Chains A and B, each alone.
Chain A
């Protein structure tokens, strides 16, 4: 342990060298930008930055990419909360409570909670990463496709039961999303599904198009119907960015801890990244949180839970990368590529041969989180002012942002049209009281659920009972099923009461 601390201290010294620090700050800023723009996902941003690191020496290269990864899990929350445009799929759960808060004039508080959550999640995960890398990494290996499927199934189940309103409508919306997710060439057997010989459809409908269209553009249509005159927005400008008070934060300590643990754990297992962590943590909070039944109405728990988990997943995903050479998420897969290109093979031996690089990477996570939060604190101050602008102007920028985002994903105009279609669908859904969220959830998690289900079936000779005979999978599956059935049960009881 002493040795670890010495090495970590040396890591900090390295990160504080001017060149390294410069790349760290650059990485943080790039990560924030990438996260804010809906068309550029975090993984894509890291991919784009990778070629620039080829000519750099290895330590600044790894620091740059790690810094981008850390801050990329944070800034998408801003647009989610202020405009209902999630910058990343991880930010979708944030808007369920963040946006209603902003509409109530509590944008500053919402952003403050996000900041605190990102800070806490990041720090807890980074500490775990340094202290417990070796033993924790071993546990992750015991997870296989049945467990992944169970986790994702829980994610799908828990969110359907939220959002109030009709459960039937929520299920219809969810299944529509899952159906959309099946479009394209199937991952396992390569069958073409609903592609109608359109080349771009062979690659599937990008979740980004659905997400940005249904939330961002759909919301603009809603406001257009109301003539761009919502009185609440005037209030937003009066309040300055406000970090939660210590007492408020302590009252929510359970939420922070649950989210942090979920994030670290999902980060460690190789099949899932920040997105699953964010959804899962929101689901857990809704089931077990003190105010779980109020989730979705605009309470801080709904912001803290997903944000803590998303940022915590970064530290988690780095653990299997450095200890075993297995990336725990999409972004760490790219960072692995950067290691390889510099002739370094992450794995047990790297702690012996190049421990200084690994500890510089660890230190850069800590320093990165602090830099990110400082930038975030000052940036949000000005961002909240955006809400003072006339709504019609803000909406115009939201539309531009949506169009750019849809195009940037695959450089395809077809995607732009698809996004517009999903914008209309999103509007109609809201209008006729169908929740949009289950559909978006289905599109994002559907393919993951399918692939892991198929792998499970192939691996266990089509025996679906493995989902209930493997201990971890079984516990998660049972919890998920209770989550699904309980609201039905409650609904039926309420139906009977009046008589």
Chain B
């Protein structure tokens, strides 16, 4: 039985190989995908936002795809170390990765070693609006207070680093005549302490990332950079209402290497769509103060990323 099988598989392999030379599709169409575990690279440390996303969708994705997805955390260089790891593996769909807006922002640096064309997004999973926040006991109560104060003295704004989306907002308001100064604190703990301890006047952050400080009334948003007001913060104006159209969302996506068979990208994208449609996932989005319509399937994801990058470029200082 087994001896008969081997020549047959060999034969099949030869036919597939021959076929692959002429048309690319049959080669992959014959093998069921996925048939073995898929490596799930998280280019950030455990516990952070990117990691939480992977852990959240992992079980649902395993069920939908029928294989396990071991998560590997490869942190470093604003997510580029993990990205490089994914990009150096084969484009067979057995290595996927989380990709976030902070890493995309690096594209504005001409020296960046990778391009958008190096990978194919399978889906955008979460989009979180950001906000300027003050400490609860700050003398600046509303955006009006902030504007008035920023005309008198430079306000210090806690950001992740220069050139980040955070910094772009500060530069934008500098252009509008408000005096603000970005102060970089790469570690979240130090960034939050800066505003809670009164060392910075404002901090730029995604609402979901400082949920505990918002819930415990230690911080409060003064302006949210989103299309419409949030039910939880119905008294807080959006940037748009105030005439500041700048919206750079923090998004987190799942990507695969460029050149992966489109059918395989679609398989992953469909599985992600299933996960995103669950009530559990929707509840999580709400908890994270994320856009309820965060999910973008593979079809629109690449265009979405380009759009986000263009938005960043628009507000970036000209070099």
- Residues of A at under 8 Å CB distance from B? 47, 50-51, 54, 140-145, 185, 187-190, 202-203, 270-271, 324-328, 333-334, 336-338, 340-341, 345-349, 455, 458-459, 461
Q: How far apart are the CA atoms of A232 and B218 in the complex, in Å? A: 60
Interface check B47, CB cutoff 8 A? yes
A462 to chain B, nearest CB (A): 11
Decide: A336 and B71 in contact? CB cutoff 8 A: no
* Chain B residues closer than 8 Å to A190, beta-carbon distance: 109, 161-163
Known: A187-B184, A187-B186. 18 other contacts (CB 8 A): A51-B46, A143-B197, A145-B199, A188-B184, A190-B109, A190-B162, A324-B218, A334-B46, A334-B47, A337-B45, A340-B47, A341-B47, A345-B215, A346-B212, A347-B213, A349-B215, A349-B216, A458-B182
Complex contact A142–B184 (CB within 8 A):
no
List 8 tightest A-B contacts by C-beta distance, closest first: A337-B47, A345-B212, A141-B197, A144-B199, A347-B212, A50-B46, A325-B212, A347-B216
Residues of B within 8 A of A188 (CB): 161-162, 184
Evaluate whether A336 and B194 lie within 8 angstroms (CB atoms) in the complex, with A347-B212, A347-B216, A348-B216 already known: no
B193 within 8 A of A: yes
A-B contact pairs, 13 of them (CB 8 A): A140-B193, A187-B184, A190-B162, A270-B193, A271-B190, A325-B216, A334-B45, A334-B46, A336-B47, A346-B212, A347-B215, A347-B218, A349-B212
Task: Report chain A residues within 8 Å CB of B211.
Answer: 345
Q: Are B194 and A144 in contact (CB under 8 A)?
A: yes
Q: How far is the CB of B292 from chain A (nearest CB, A)?
A: 20
Known: A144-B197, A203-B76, A324-B196. A455 touches B45 (CB 8 A): no
What sequence of 0s and 1s flags, for each residue 33-68 of chain B, a beta carbon within 8 Å of any chain A beta carbon?
Answer: 000000000000111100110010000000000000
Query: Which of A47, A141, A336 makes the CB contact (< 8 A) with B193?
Result: A141
B189 at the interface (CB under 8 A from A): yes
Contact residues of B: prevailing secondary structure? mixed
Q: Are B181 and A458 in contact (CB under 8 A)?
A: yes
User: Residue of B at shortest CB range from A329?
Assistant: B189
> How near does chain A come to B142, taking the closest CB pair, in angstroms?
24
With a cutoff of 8 Å between Cβ atoms, the chain A residues found around residue B184 in the complex are 187-188, 455, 458
Whether B77 is near chain A, meaning CB under 8 Å from some CB there, is yes
In the complex, A189 Cα to B161 Cα: how many Å?
A: 8
Q: Which residues of the other chain, A, contact B156 by a CB distance below 8 angstroms? A: 459
> A residues within 8 A CB of B94?
none
Measured CB to CB, the residues of B under 8 A from A are 45-48, 51-52, 55, 71, 73, 76-77, 81, 109, 154, 156, 161-163, 181-190, 192-194, 196-200, 211-213, 215-216, 218
Residue of A nearest to B75 (CB): A47
Chain A residues closer than 8 Å to B198, beta-carbon distance: 141
Partner of A202, one of B77, B161, B199: B77
Distance from B285 Cβ to chain A, minimum over Cβ atoms (Å): 15
Flag if B47 contacts A333 (CB, 8 Å).
Answer: yes
Partner pick for A326 among B71, B183, B192, CB 8 A cutoff = B192
- Taken together as a complex, chains A and B put the C-alpha atoms of A459 and B185 apart, in Å, by 11
Q: Are B218 and A459 in contact, with the CB atoms below 8 A?
A: no
A327 to B55, CA, bound (A): 22
**B78 CB to closest chain A CB, in angstroms?**
9
Identify A459's interface contact among B46, B162, B183, B192, CB under 8 A.
B183
Whole-angstrom distance between the Cβ of A380 and the nearest chain B Cβ = 33
Q: How far is the CB of A184 from chain B (nearest CB, A)?
A: 10
Query: What's the nearest-Cβ distance from chain B to residue A369, in Å?
Result: 25
Q: Which residues of chain A come closer than 8 Å to B188, judged between CB atoms?
A: 333
Q: Is the CB of B189 within 8 A of A333?
A: yes
- A17 to B154, alpha carbons, bound, how many Å? 55
- Say how far A342's CB is from chain B's closest CB, in angstroms: 11
Task: Report B49 CB to chain A, min CB distance, Å.
Answer: 10
Q: How far is the CB of A148 from chain B (nearest CB, A)?
A: 9
**Minimum C-beta distance from B298 to chain A (A):** 28
